[in-house]
């Protein structure tokens, strides 16, 4: 591989429960115009953006080929556009390939999701199951996670109290983040009292329905100075697919996450995940996932998720200072939102939640029922 | 122009295609994909453990499966591997080829397997395509992929008689090619004496677009395995090299009066840019075969002029003189093209797969009867989107303005 890949700018709108007043094109356009004004980048065929990576989903947009209808709003009219139909964090992995291959110098990445548009997100995720065996059972991402949650909580000593603590903390963190979804403040007792969705998952254990859009400008190292004084380098990426049937998987093993992390860590030269990262952003769509993914990434010891939460590691290791997905990011963008926060921290632009001197971050994303597909991205602000 | 040389070369080392048909009721989606995966692995002499990364693409709303790569892992072999899912409508298969090329060339992965598939029988394709249109402004007007725009344009320019005969000549040639390809979904055995009858009596769909002109909806999967130069040379005697690719999209949501953008088709714009940066002066002379994504005979005729940067009626003459036949001066779609089989998520990848087989010289009964060294493959999708890929037999290309 030659050179490095730099993120030069990010632009996002505020996470909101229902952006009824704007279409997704408008949400993207706000981000797009911010990127242009931050960087002065052009769409010149020689020196500008020739390729745009978009991240969205046909089912949640209720549109076949969800990347049409916005190609001009993201600058792709008479330019290239390629849609990543997974959690948008994989778009950053693909952007690395576009630049390291030499095919592109400058890439724009744009992601959106209006989760509020669907009648029921569980009806959407039910469609990800095969129509023969699992779909008729009423499987969706929530109840699939319930199997994993119960098994994991048994294995790692995670209790309902731990989950309440995680959710209450997420709301406190989210309140400090101007881009985070505005939620009612809640106590641990509120979480413990919230209705059961799919045992042991309570309503407040799951992220709330959210609309959001984000854009990023990514370029090769040699040209980063044209667009920013605070480049953030993408130095490692890996993702991994687990098997499909829940019964075929060891649900508490973190099989896919461990493999994804291994590859990303190898690429970035990470040897001790507990010490190497100043920032960790984990895709916690449901509260039990925060300690579980932390074990998978090596931030917590195997089987010690409960103790890890008790030990105060969430604050000590700067985990999900953004509020995490639990505070509200839309499906398909949970991982990209984690990367967005990591970039702001490494740029020194994280406001009240800034970690002074942060140099290295890990951002994590997951797609599918009970974490079938995981992605791990390593970011640094001083290069390798 | 500032185009860098690739970080490293990328070759096609394995190809798998299922038989295309209207109904594959004998297999479910992962099983159908698995057929093509197995074929591609056997073709390359590889095992699934040799694959570093798997790419997957199709349209969710055609079969109503959300994130289908999750279920399909049963047939794709992506278990425990890196995997990406990319979808761009009809161009999906072409986008997967570009993505595989980028991922291997980047050095992030040595061997990448790309899978395009569709099982259109399990959904409603025209409804699915109509659903791409804007729900406020265009959905009530959209008629799936059916449009007679190209017919109107050709008839306006060249007169009804000549245009209609050119489109039907193109259609009959494609059918003759399809009859040679054992994977074809539709191969009717059309002959020249049916020309007048078909022009007059084939059921009209919209304006001058008739049933016989239009592509089918098909079931099928296509798999291509890509490897870095070093690996490719170890894996096969006959790697086919990806020289370059370009993607050009368009969308006029904000540009209702078309005042700001080039008055060119994406096909012509893509071709101009790609040939320029690769130093290809006369594409009609340079390429030995062109696998075109031609969803209808009218589009096929019209787009020849765009892709080869022709003037006036040069494209019509190519068709009328039957130069586009398998043994002609510029063979177009020896596979039979998209009118012969259209499993949408796979279709564009089939163009690259067929072009690569022609270069390898093992396309089967539809092998072009002379050496093929340089091939062009196109994809079409969305609101007139283009992906264009150049394939080469040898790693000896020169010229162009790569840095």
For residue B90, CA distances in Å to B142, B358, B379 come to: 16, 23, 7
B262 touches chain A (CB under 8 A): yes
- Per residue in B332-348, pLDDT (tens digit) is 999 999 999 999 999 99
**CB B250 to CB A25 under 8 A?**
no
- A94 touches A53 (CB < 8 A): yes
3-state helix, strand, coil in chain B (%, to 5): 40, 20, 40
Task: Give A-chain residues touching B88 at CB under 8 angstroms.
Answer: 65, 67, 81-83
Which tens digits make up the pLDDT trace of B219-263? 999 999 999 999 999 999 999 999 999 999 988 665 555 555 566
Question: How many Cα atoms sit within 13 Å of A69 on the Cβ side?
Answer: 27
**Which among B78, B88, B253 has the least Cβ separation from residue A67?**
B88
DSSP helix/strand/coil, A210: coil
| Minimal Cβ distance to A128: which of B70, B266, B269 | B70
pTM of the predicted structure, to 2 decimals: 0.97
Closest chain B residue to A368, measured at CA: B70
Looking at residue B399, its pLDDT comes to 66
Interface with chain B: mutation pick from A64, A74, A126, A265, highest number of B CBs within 10 Å: A64
C-alpha dihedral sign at A189, A193, A198, A203: negative
Which positions 26-45 of B are in contact with A (Cβ < 8 Å)?
Answer: 28
* Arithmetic mean of pLDDT, B348-362: 98
Nearest CA in chain B to A60: B66
User: What is the token pair recorded at A261?
Assistant: 């992390």
Instruction: Report whether pLDDT(A368) > 70.
Output: yes
| pLDDT for residue B264 | 81
The span from the CA of A139 to the CA of A245, in Å, is: 11
Whether A13 and A210 have beta carbons less than 8 Å apart is answered as no
Residue B142 clears pLDDT 90, i.e. is over it: no
CA distance B70 to A59: 15
Q: What is the 3-state secondary structure (H, E, C) of B44-109?
A: HCCCHHHCCEEEEECCHHHHCCCCCHHHHHHHHCCECCEEEEECECECHHHHHHHHHHHHHHCCCC
User: Is the pLDDT assigned to residue B400 strictly greater than 80?
Assistant: no
B266 contacts in A (CB within 8 Å)? 78
Output the CA–CA distances (angstroms, integers) from residue B252 to A77, A78, A323, in the order listed: 8, 10, 38
Distance CA B68, CA A241 (A): 12
- Which residue does chain B place closest to A248, by CA atoms? B74
Six-digit token pair at A329? Answer: 């990011």
How many Å separate Cα A151 from the centre of its chain?
Answer: 24
Most B CBs within 10 Å: which of A25, A55, A57, A103, as the mutation test of the B interface?
A103
Q: Nearest to residue A286, comparing CAs of A145, A175, A86, A169?
A: A145
**B171, B339 in Cβ contact below 8 A?**
yes
Q: Which fold has domain B10-126+218-224?
A: Peroxisomal Thiolase; Chain A, domain 1 (3.40.47)
**DSSP 8-state class, residue A64:** S
Q: Radius of gyration over alpha carbons of chain B, in Å?
A: 20
**A98 to chain B, closest Cα gap in Å:** 5
How many angstroms separate the CA atoms of B10 and A376, rounded? 26
Per-residue model confidence (pLDDT) at position B194:
97
CB pairs under 8 A between A and B: 229
- Percent of the residues in chain B that have a pLDDT greater than 70, as a whole number: 95
- How many angstroms separate the CA atoms of B148 and B206, rounded? 6
Query: Which residues does chain B have within 8 Å of residue A240's beta carbon, measured at their own beta carbons?
Result: 80-83
- Tell me the chain A residues in contact with residue B101 when contact means C-beta distances shorter than 8 Å: 101, 103
Beta bridge partners of A210: none
pLDDT band at B145 (very low <50, low <70, confident <90, very high): confident
Chain A residues with CB under 8 Å of B74 CB are 243-244
Judge whether B54 is closer than 8 Å to chain A, CB to CB.
yes
Band (pLDDT 50/70/90 cuts) for residue A384 is very low
- Confidence class of residue B402 from pLDDT cuts 50, 70 and 90? low
Which residues are within 8 A (CB) of A73 and not within 5 positions of it... i.e. 6 or more apart?
A25, A26, A28, A29, A32, B253, B254
Is the CB of B2 less than 8 angstroms away from the CB of A47? yes
pLDDT at A123 > cutoff 50: yes
CB atoms within 10 A of CB B217: 23
Domain A5-119+212-226 has CATH 3.30.70.270: no
Nearest chain A residue to B256 by CA distance is A72
| Residue B86 contacts A, CB cutoff 8 Å | yes
Mean pLDDT score of chain B, rounded to an integer? 94
* Domain pair A5-119+212-226 / A234-380, same fold: yes
Domain ranges for chain A: 5-119+212-226, 234-380
What are A16's strand-pairing partners?
Answer: A211
Tokens linked to B332: 């177009």
pLDDT in tens, A248-300: 999 999 999 999 999 999 999 999 999 999 999 999 999 999 999 999 999 99
pLDDT at A132 over 60: yes
B2 three-state secondary structure: coil
Contact map slice: A 289-348 vs B, CB within 8 A: none
- The CATH code of domain A234-380 reads 3.40.47.10
């Amino acid at each position: 591989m030659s050179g490095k890949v730099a993120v030069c700018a990010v632009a996002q709108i505020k996470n909101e429960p229902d952006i009824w007043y704007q279409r997704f094109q408008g949400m993207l356009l706000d981000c797009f115009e911010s990127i242009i004004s931050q960087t002065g980048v052009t769409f010149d065929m020689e020196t500008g953006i020739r390729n745009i990576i978009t991240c969205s989903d046909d089912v949640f947009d209720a549109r076949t080929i969800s990347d049409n209808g916005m190609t001009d709003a993201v600058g792709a009219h008479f330019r290239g556009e390629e849609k990543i139909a997974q959690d948008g964090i994989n778009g950053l992995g693909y952007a690395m390939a576009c630049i390291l291959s030499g095919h592109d110098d400058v890439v724009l990445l744009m992601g959106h999701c209006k989760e509020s548009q669907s009648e029921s997100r569980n009806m959407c995720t039910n469609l990800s199951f095969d129509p023969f065996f699992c779909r008729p059972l009423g499987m969706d991402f929530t109840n699939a996670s319930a199997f994993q949650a119960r098994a994991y909580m048994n294995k790692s000593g995670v209790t309902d109290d731990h989950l309440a603590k995680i959710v209450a903390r997420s709301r406190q963190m989210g309140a400090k983040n101007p881009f985070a979804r505005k939620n009612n403040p809640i106590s641990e007792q509120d979480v413990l009292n919230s209705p059961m969705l799919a045992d042991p998952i309570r309503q407040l254990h799951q992220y709330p329905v959210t609309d959001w859009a984000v854009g990023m400008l990514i370029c090769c190292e040699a040209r980063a100075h044209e667009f920013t004084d605070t480049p953030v380098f993408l130095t490692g990426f890996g993702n991994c697919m687990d098997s499909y049937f829940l019964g075929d998987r060891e649900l508490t093993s973190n099989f896919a996450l461990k493999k994804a992390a291994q590859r990303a860590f190898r690429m970035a030269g990470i040897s001790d995940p507990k010490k190497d990262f100043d920032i960790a952003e984990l895709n916690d769509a449901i509260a039990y996932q925060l300690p579980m993914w932390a074990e998978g990434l090596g931030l917590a010891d195997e089987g010690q998720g409960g103790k890890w939460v008790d030990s105060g590691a969430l604050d000590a290791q700067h985990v999900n200072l953004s509020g995490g997905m639990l505070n509200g990011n839309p499906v398909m963008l949970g991982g990209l939102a984690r990367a967005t926060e990591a970039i702001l921290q490494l740029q020194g632009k994280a406001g009240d939640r800034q970690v002074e001197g942060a140099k290295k971050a890990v951002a994590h994303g997951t797609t599918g029922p009970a974490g079938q597909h995981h992605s791990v991205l390593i970011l640094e602000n001083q290069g390798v | 122009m500032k185009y860098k040389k690739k970080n490293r070369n990328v070759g096609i080392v394995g190809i798998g295609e299922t038989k295309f048909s209207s109904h594959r009721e004998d297999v479910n989606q992962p099983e159908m994909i698995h057929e093509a995966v197995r074929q591609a692995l056997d073709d390359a002499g590889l095992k699934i453990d040799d694959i570093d990364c798997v790419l997957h693409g199709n349209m969710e709303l055609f079969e109503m499966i959300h994130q289908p790569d999750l279920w399909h892992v049963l047939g794709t072999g992506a278990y425990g591997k890196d995997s990406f899912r990319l979808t761009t409508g009809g161009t999906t298969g072409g986008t997967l080829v570009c993505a595989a090329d980028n991922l291997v060339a980047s050095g992030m992965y040595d061997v990448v397997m790309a899978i395009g598939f569709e099982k259109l029988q399990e959904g409603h394709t025209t409804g699915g395509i109509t659903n791409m249109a804007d729900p406020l402004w265009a959905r009530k007007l959209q008629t799936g992929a059916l449009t007679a725009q190209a017919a109107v344009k050709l008839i306006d320019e060249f007169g009804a008689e000549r245009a209609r005969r050119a489109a039907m000549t193109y259609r009959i040639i494609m059918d003759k090619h399809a009859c040679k390809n054992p994977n074809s979904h539709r191969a009717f055995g059309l002959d020249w004496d049916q020309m007048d009858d078909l022009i007059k009596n084939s059921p009209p769909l919209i304006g001058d677009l008739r049933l016989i002109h239009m592509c089918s909806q098909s079931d099928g999967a296509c798999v291509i395995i890509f490897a870095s130069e070093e690996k490719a040379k170890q894996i096969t005697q006959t790697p086919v090299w990806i020289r370059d690719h370009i993607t050009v999209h368009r969308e006029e949501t904000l540009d209702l009066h078309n005042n700001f953008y080039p008055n060119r088709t994406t096909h012509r714009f893509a071709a101009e840019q790609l040939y320029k940066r690769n130093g290809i002066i006369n594409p009609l002379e340079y390429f030995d075969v062109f696998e075109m994504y031609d969803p209808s005979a009218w589009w096929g005729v019209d787009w020849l002029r765009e892709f080869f940067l022709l003037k006036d009626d040069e494209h019509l003459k190519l068709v009328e003189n039957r130069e586009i036949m398998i043994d002609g001066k510029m063979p177009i779609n020896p596979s039979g093209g998209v009118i012969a089989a259209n499993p949408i998520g796979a279709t564009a990848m089939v163009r690259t797969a067929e072009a690569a087989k022609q270069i390898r010289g093992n396309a089967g009964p539809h092998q072009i009867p002379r050496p093929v060294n340089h091939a062009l493959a196109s994809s079409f999708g969305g609101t007139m989107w283009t992906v264009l890929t150049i394939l080469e037999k040898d790693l000896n290309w020169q010229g162009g303005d790569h840095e």
